[in-house]
Amino acid sequence: PVWNAVARGIFFFFYQGHRQAHFKRAILEGIGFSFRLLLEKLEKAGGEIDKIYASGGFIQSAWWVQLMSDILRKPLLVDKADADASAMGAIAIGLRAEGLISSWPEFATLVERAYTIYFPDDRSKEIYDSNYQHYNRLCQF
């Protein structure tokens, strides 16, 4: 999850009581931490981001979206119509090619938007902030 061709993955702070589910969760948390690192770089370059629009396959899991919101410390807005954003893009291109719409904003008026908002859980802030600091130290090369 880091931009280094020679980087290798590790699991840290584990003990014999951890099971497969713990390692699966750790992988998802690592993905979240890599996104948090990117988010911080974006904010440093362009200012604070107050919300994130999420799309793609991971939005099918409310649990994973909530985890990302908790790690990123930002509200995540999910539009179920965007679950297959690529298909929606193909539909828009087809409609425009056939002359059924004249502009991309016109397509947006044809799609109903209903967002579910996932807010960060304050109870998780301390643990994810601490684990993110460990992640950053481990990613320094």
HSE (side-chain half, CA atoms, 13 Å) at 9 = 10
pLDDT digits (tens, 9 = 90+) for 72-120: 999 999 987 665 677 878 888 999 999 999 988 888 888 777 889 999 9
Lowest mean pLDDT across 17-21, 89-93, 124-128 = 89-93
